[in-house]
Amino acid sequence: MKLFECQHCGQPLYFRNTRCERCGRQLGYLPAKQTLTALEPDARGFRALAERRGRYRYCANAQYDACNWLLHVESPEQFCAVCRHNRTIPDLTIPENLINWRTIEYAKHRLFYTLLKLRLPLATRQEDPDGLAFDVLAHPADGTPGREPILTGHASGLITINLAEADDIERERQRKNLAEPYRTVLGHVRHEIAHYYWDRLVRDSVHIEEFRKLFGDERQDYAAALQRHYDNGPQPSWREQFVSAYASSHPWEDFAETWAHYLHMVDTIETAAGFGMRVRPRIKQGGDLATEINFDPHKATLDRILESWFPLTFAVNSINRSMGIPDLYPFVLPPPVIDKLSFVHDLIHAASQPPPEEGRRSLLEALAQRWRGSGSSNVS
């Protein structure tokens, strides 16, 4: 993610800030400008110091301290471009629910920041029956009749998130139980959105055969594949072909783990670029680990991303080990995974290209027809 600063006093800001700690100005995220802006109140709402032309108001979820995104004051919408995708939220009169829901919303907003920068399609259910929606569900109290587990997953454009994933203790328990090196709320939403985009960009598309060559045949029984994974563990040689153990369970999960990994890389490198990071190891063989991160990863080639990724992650892992904490980046990228990342990179950039003027109408009609197509995966 890029770095932000207060337009009034120059204070460095975090993406989720709502007030500048130095000058006290209210802050809001302006999606059209892709920036956090200081605000000036006036009779019609707020003026944004980042552009000063329009008048803005906060998303309705600002009242819960769960969103700082802005809408034009004349917009008929109550909710911002992220929160409009919420179909179900937990009971916010329960304090613990409110705290955990905020954590999930912070992760979702960071996800959407990247999706919007990559210019990926983000239709809501109001715009398209197969559009993207989120259900954030809380477990009923123990002893409730018919109490069923809530599983985080995706089905037909609907992403369900178990609110308990926002609880640090519960999430760490699950991470240890499943022997995962990495489990975060942000990782979950990046993984689940991949299933949504598989339906939209890969299924029934010209990309399906290439997908099957790289990831495998997704037509194999999904439920049976997951059961084998949980009963027997990952494939013995998974480290040679997959980015994670879970990726080896089924081609859909391989794609989702790879897609999430790509978003991890893009967001982290953009942050490193914002800090002007350079890596220059002071060892004899340090040339291969040298890099200067001074580019926009949303527009870069995958080769350029990887050239910086390996030195950057070696450096930050070394720093973490100096503090006695786990590696920030506990993964290895064998050649087959890089091929899969290349597929995801090319897929994203093909989907994000604006259509040419010539033949634009027929292309839009074809895209609309594809988005109206029936059938979908039901995966986690």
C-alpha distance from residue 6 to each of 13, 14, 66, 73, 323 (Å): 7, 10, 20, 22, 32
Return the percentage of the chain with pLDDT > 90, whole number. Answer: 78
**Residues in Cβ contact with 174 at an 8 Å cutoff, skipping those fewer than 6 apart:** 165, 180, 183
pLDDT one-digit tens code per residue, 304-335 = 999 999 999 999 999 999 999 999 999 999 99
Please give the model's pTM, rounded to 2 decimal places: 0.89
pLDDT of residue 44: 84
pLDDT of residue 370: 41
Phi and psi, residue 130, nearest 5° = -100, 20
Residue ranges of the alpha helices (H) in the chain?
95-117, 168-177, 185-197, 208-215, 222-232, 251-274, 302-322, 335-352, 360-371
pLDDT of residue 143: 43
Classify strands 70-72 and 55-58 as parallel, antiparallel or unpaired. Answer: antiparallel
Q: Which residues of the chain have pLDDT under 70?
A: 141-147, 353-380
- Name the amino acid, one letter, at 380: S
Q: Read off the tokens for 376.
A: 């979908």
pLDDT one-digit tens code per residue, 347-378 = 999 998 564 443 333 344 444 444 444 344 44
C-alpha distance from residue 135 to each of 51, 166, 248, 264 (Å): 34, 14, 27, 23
pLDDT of residue 172: 87
